[in-house]
Structure 1
């Protein structure tokens, strides 16, 4: 068989990556395997290593997976190609009896797999291997395997939004192939993110020449227009064009031929104050026309009339935004004295918004990264954390999944790191929703708890953090309570353990 790469090789490297906390060791192990792959194996193997099914989800529920009990193969013989074929076959199954036929196809695949491979495949189909945090490690490993700069890989990934396609280009043609990825109208790019700052004054001192803008309690949108064709995407790059007719119409009316805008949208009440975040999100998934009208507030312009602006400083991008969409800009001021910045902050809060974002006017658009060029300032402490498990409630909450186990993202690509629990802030409506939702995302449990695929993000309000030996991250949340779930975010966008520890230093 020579040096042919089998699924067992991928499984071994995945286990090696999970077993070490060293980012360097993870990167090296993945890079060694990537170098051994045939060109057609690079994209699917990259997906597998990142814990994703090649080609995306296949609609297999946990009940189907847990019902499969197939004797394992003694010898590893599954190739990456045969796994891809079965995944494609399972994805194509629909109509009556589809669950049974999916189970049959999966059973056939598992019969060819060793015990270790079976365990890997079941966790893969169940979404358990999906670690958004691994993306950063994968980018570095692809760069090492292809002997190119990490920045070149990161930029191509930001523009394509697809790790497998990025790896394929890097290993096929190096930096020249990676440089071919361009901002394409109609293909969304990963949004640039802000990191928290303790105070407004600290953010102003750190960034120098900056803009201070309202931080809205809305949902992130990215809008692409090419001629009359308008497309609207969410923060996770899902297209919602058909659900937001008023945004499409508004952007079609702007005075330009082509544009890519980044911003927020939200539903407002009659007094012009933001409606609850859930009402804005409900529009994104609506099948029928709903009453709430969405108002866009744009804060960045990434392309205008044939010119890409990603690498231009923010001040140039804001000039382009003013030119094309002045009436729909987010409220804010440029390089203000601190008293003006404080007035913007107070105004944002008075209007029912979350706070402000302070942005470095010299910074390019670093898509997909939560860097230090954009700093968000809120009056209270909040963190976006991943739900790891939930405990069954007692008394009035008997029969409901209540106490949440919360994890912060590991920046080195490991599973989320537990930092606390909370059952506070949960309305009856949320309790009912999460009890049903969690059981659909369960990876097992016991009499008192249910463990989840680590993908749901919840926004937690807290009084601060304290050092703790109880949890592996060495910190614990103080007086944590649920603000809301964040269906617009995935685990890759949760706050890191470093962000939690910084709050400790901030105290």
Structure 2
């Protein structure tokens, strides 16, 4: 298939707010793809190419873009092969070779294709082709039940391969996709509530567990082989030998565990989140020791537990990893739930997660069965631009522009971001130095006082609430926003939505 056809579909999807129209356009595209084009095409549309990051930044890409071609000639396979070549480059001279390959390739692309290629390479696809919409399109194009496609995608962690199987395989093969030790699955997600008592009113009897100030991990063990994955399914086994050692000591042969890891100080209190994340962001081993804490078990010694109630899973978790379980209590009493919440905060943790005791593990989904409770309003937003500082911050990028996701395009481009405020509060000297370097690396354009950046950096912001405002297109502005931390473990697609923030007006 010509790449131009994929680009046209992406533009069609981005230009409509109708979910049905999006599904129609994507389904029509999927039926026209050759079998070996399906997985790459799906990866391009959702901004998750199968090759992952290939070492191309905004600056390198801008320098490689020349005059566009007059006519479309590139194919989907051509772009996939380009990413293979770029991903294979390493060592001395690789930067120059990467630029040469990019220049040769983009010279064959039309202007529309150059823009599309840039967004694929930078992981910034804003077509409105959200994974949920594309999942529905796959089901329609393949004439398969939507639930079957969603489950296969969740358990395989790969929407592109799920699409290929749905479109080229049998219904039985699609339904046979299940847990496989060593292959990560999308993690179950939690909704939010203002208090533990409110959360318990939603869940009924529940396990009220500490919400650690750490990084989420998924641990797979088969015999002596252990693999550790992030919430985004990246393999970081080589960075977490402490976690691997703990997993090898557990009294099982095969297991899949869901949990978090964090570092503790001499008194057993959690160290700052950035110290935990430093072990995720570099290959070199650090002195910081990371301890795993597990809150769920998905598989043990040949037995899948996804469809077992939480009560059963917790009993197995206690047997397998008792001393490494996250603290918590099972209760239906709101006062008990609030007590656990207070204890979690006193221990230096973020709050609690309240989990319905009869809930199943819904991989990759956010529902009302798990509800997180934090003592302050914190949201994950995306940095859109940064302003140069003044005074003692002269020469540093300081005031950050914050955007919330707008998946349906209610206030702008579908799948884009809508600005909700600015802040320079909470930034340490170390963070100021880091963001001055980082945001210039992903710069899109600049004015005299502001650097506009690719919307790929997630930052956790604490606020006292929101207020109505005509200053920003979403109709709200953040109240007393301050930076808590940058979330290296999260993609922009996981940021909070404008509707979530607007919901605070109603509260």
TM-score by length of 1: 0.94
Q: Which residue of 2 aligns with 1:399?
A: 395
Q: Which residue of 2 aligns with 1:421?
A: 422
User: Is contact 2:193–2:372 with CA below 8 Å preserved after alignment?
Assistant: yes
Q: Which residue of 1 aligns with 2:457?
A: 456
Write out per-residue CA displacement over residues 150-190 of structure 1, whole angstroms, 9 at most, x where no aligned residue.
22222212112222111111111254332232211111111
Q: CA deviation at 1:130?
A: 6.3
1:295 aligns with 2:296: no
Q: 1:214 to 1:46 in 2, by over 3 A?
A: same
Q: Which residue of 2 aligns with 1:490?
A: 491
Partner of 1:459, secondary structure, is strand
More deviation, 77-86/423-432: 77-86
Write out per-residue CA displacement over residues 71-124 of structure 1, whole angstroms, 9 at most, x where no aligned residue.
322222211122222222233333433233222222222222222112222332
Q: 1:488 to 1:54 in 2, by over 3 A?
A: closer
User: Is contact 2:423–2:481 with CA below 8 Å preserved after alignment?
Assistant: yes
1:376 aligns with 2:377: no
Q: CA deviation at 1:459?
A: 0.6
Structure 2: segments with no counterpart, 5+ residues: 409-413
Q: 1:331 to 1:65 in 2, by over 3 A?
A: same
Q: Which residue of 2 aligns with 1:113?
A: 109
Determine the C-alpha separation between the residues in 2 that align with 1:363 and 1:211.
Answer: 10
Q: Which residue of 1 aligns with 2:222?
A: 226
Write out per-residue CA displacement over residues 40-71 of structure 1, whole angstroms, 9 at most, x where no aligned residue.
11111112222344522221232222123433
Q: Which residue of 2 aligns with 1:143?
A: 139
Structure 1: segments with no counterpart, 5+ residues: none
Q: 1:210 to 1:40 in 2, by over 3 A?
A: same
Partner of 1:232, secondary structure, is strand
**2:169 pairs with 170, 173, 187, which one?**
173
Q: 1:199 to 1:411 in 2, by over 3 A?
A: farther
Q: CA deviation at 1:136?
A: 2.2
More deviation, 62-71/230-239: 62-71
Q: Which residue of 1 aligns with 2:274?
A: 278
RMSD over equivalenced CA pairs, Å: 1.9
Q: 1:133 to 1:117 in 2, by over 3 A?
A: closer
Q: 1:292 to 1:87 in 2, by over 3 A?
A: closer
Q: Which residue of 2 aligns with 1:153?
A: 149
Determine the C-alpha separation between the residues in 1 that align with 2:128 and 2:429.
Answer: 30
Q: CA deviation at 1:288?
A: 4.2
More deviation, 441-450/297-306: 441-450
Determine the C-alpha separation between the residues in 2 that align with 1:47 and 1:474.
Answer: 33
Q: Counterparts in 2 of 1:99-498, with a 5 A limit? A: 99-129=95-125, 134-173=130-169, 175-412=171-408, 414-498=415-499
User: Is contact 1:131–1:491 with CA below 8 Å preserved after alignment?
Assistant: no
Determine the C-alpha separation between the residues in 2 that align with 1:279 and 1:313.
Answer: 35
Partner of 1:416, secondary structure, is strand
User: Is contact 1:409–1:494 with CA below 8 Å preserved after alignment?
Assistant: yes
Determine the C-alpha separation between the residues in 1 that align with 2:130 and 2:347.
Answer: 38
**1:6 pairs with 2, 11, 26, which one?**
2
User: Is contact 2:184–2:233 with CA below 8 Å preserved after alignment?
Assistant: yes
Q: 1:271 to 1:336 in 2, by over 3 A?
A: farther
Q: CA deviation at 1:212?
A: 0.7
Determine the C-alpha separation between the residues in 2 that align with 1:484 and 1:81.
Answer: 39
